[in-house]
Amino acid sequence: MDAMDSKSKGTNKKSKSLLGKYELGSLLGRGTFGKVYLARPVAGGEAVAVKVLDKAEVMGTAGMAPRVLREVTAMRRLRHPNVLRLHEVLATRAKIYLVMELATGGDLLSRLAALPRRRLPEHTARRIFVQLVAALSYCHARGVAHRDVKPQNVLLDGDGNLKVSDFGLSALPDSLRDDGRLHTACGTPAYVAPEVLCRKAYDGAKADAWSCGVILFVLLAGHLPFDDSNLADMCQKAHRREFEFPEWVPQPTRRLVSRLLDPNPATRVALATLTTHQWFKRSLSLDSQLGGLLNGQQERALAFQAPVMNAFDIISMSSGLDLSGLFDQRNREIRFMTAASPERTLEELGRAGGKLGYVMVCKNGVERLTLGGLPGLAAMTVEMSEVAPPLMLVELRLEVADGDGDGDGEGQGFGWEELRHELGDVVRTWHS
């Protein structure tokens, strides 16, 4: 139901229009000081979200006006695919309107709460976390520390991509004291770094890194690592690292979380360095899995189902790799049998590809993965089908990129034997 139709007396067509630029629609949500509406540009284009703030309430509430100013200032300088975009700011005598990008998927906390176990499998959590780190690393490089990183402030668009939002508590370069540190204690206690919680001077980027560690733990475990109504006790638990991983969290992931949840900010890992971390390079996750999981489907229902397996593309990003053999008609197809699950097979292909010069990233869409590669390079199509449980047939096929003609190579530019070696015990039998 249109919120402007049924919840306001005397509503007419004119009252729905925002300065002749937008038509306000249904109410999407409400906060302490404002409401968020769906809106559409009068001139046409994509729908947006409009946060409506009451000027009198903003000006009459201590600390609220600076918070709105910080949010606007921070969002104006940030243009990243994983940061919610602020399109423009409008105002009348009584209202302030923040016109923002629309994230139709809601917030991460609500989506997690709808899951049966309130947690995600590692490969899906990794995809979320990679985007979160990319967004915050971008913010930090531009002098913006978020300071309130939590699942409620991580939104999702229709394709399951993350959008970091709510920069009302963010810190800009002019927020630093003479010692080059921040001193204002703010944020949500369960996600706040111990140095902030204990009211010490702190580095905003390192404080955000701690919050990211808490989020990664929540994604994998389904609960908070530190949760105590007594802030002093919570601070002590954080300093003593009094948290336990569930048994299903693998050791490499535990090490990464532990480096983020380091109570010493001087030795805590910086988000900017994580892009080269091995855990990130192993990322191989499907948009369909993320979207399905966050819509409350069970994990089992999102696995690849035999006998028909979806295909995905692997495109080389290594300029130093000899790809001449990819364009020859001979030796372009390899098959192997495996008893490994489809999920493990895909994960091992991603890991092996990383060692051989391939980097895997997601493409928009449900059934395909692509890698942001160099123009004109070939692709490898991977198809899996069930032969006899638990045996699966995996077919790897090299294909010529669009616009490339016949090659003169002998089909040896791609290291099939190296790939076979890297796959290890995943391969039961190999057929060239």
Query: Domain 304-431 carries which CATH code?
Result: 3.30.310
Residues of the chain with CATH 3.30.310: 304-431
What are the residues whose beta carbons fall under 8 Å from the beta carbon of 316, sequence distance 6 or more?
A: 323, 357, 358, 371, 373, 374, 377, 378
Q: Confirm whether residue 51 is marked as ligand binding.
A: yes
pLDDT digits (tens, 9 = 90+) for 247-278: 999 888 899 999 999 999 999 999 998 877 77
Whether domain 108-281 has CATH 3.30.9.10: the reply is: no
* Cβ-contact 314, 382 below 8 angstroms: yes
Q: Which residue numbers are catalytic?
A: 148
> Residue 59: what residue type?
M
Confidence (pLDDT) at 123: 82
Confidence (pLDDT) at 98: 93
As a whole number of angstroms, the distance between CA 297 and CA 23 comes to 35
In three state form, how does the secondary structure of 43-107 look?
CCCCCEEEEEEEHHHHHHCCCHHHHHHHHHHHHHCCCCCCECCEEEEEECCCEEEEEEECCCCCE
Tokens 């692709």: give the residue. 379
Q: DSSP letter at 337?
A: E
* Cβ-contact 49, 36 below 8 angstroms: yes
Confidence (pLDDT) at 418: 79
What are the residues whose beta carbons fall under 8 Å from the beta carbon of 363, sequence distance 6 or more?
A: 287, 313, 369, 370
Q: Reduced to 3 states, what is the DSSP secondary structure of residue 327?
A: helix
Q: What is the mean pLDDT of each run of 10 residues along the chain (432 residues)?
A: 39 64 90 85 92 88 86 90 93 91 91 88 87 94 94 90 92 88 92 91 96 96 89 88 91 92 94 80 43 42 34 31 35 80 80 63 33 41 70 72 42 67 86 70
What are the residues whose beta carbons fall under 8 Å from the beta carbon of 64, sequence distance 6 or more?
A: 33, 57, 58
Confidence (pLDDT) at 358: 55
Neighbouring CB atoms inside 10 A of 390's CB total 11
Residues of the chain with CATH 1.10.510.10: 108-281
Measured CA distances, 122 to 129, 146, 177, 233 (Å): 10, 25, 40, 30
Selection from 17, 18, 38, 16 nearest residue 27 by Cα: 38
Residues of the chain with CATH 3.30.200.20: 3-101
* Cβ-contact 115, 73 below 8 angstroms: no
* Cβ-contact 237, 230 below 8 angstroms: no
Confidence (pLDDT) at 432: 63
Query: Domain 3-101 carries which CATH code?
Result: 3.30.200.20
Confidence (pLDDT) at 379: 57
pLDDT digits (tens, 9 = 90+) for 271-329: 998 877 777 765 433 333 344 444 444 433 333 333 333 333 333 333 333 333 333 34
As a whole number of angstroms, the distance between CA 258 and CA 254 comes to 6
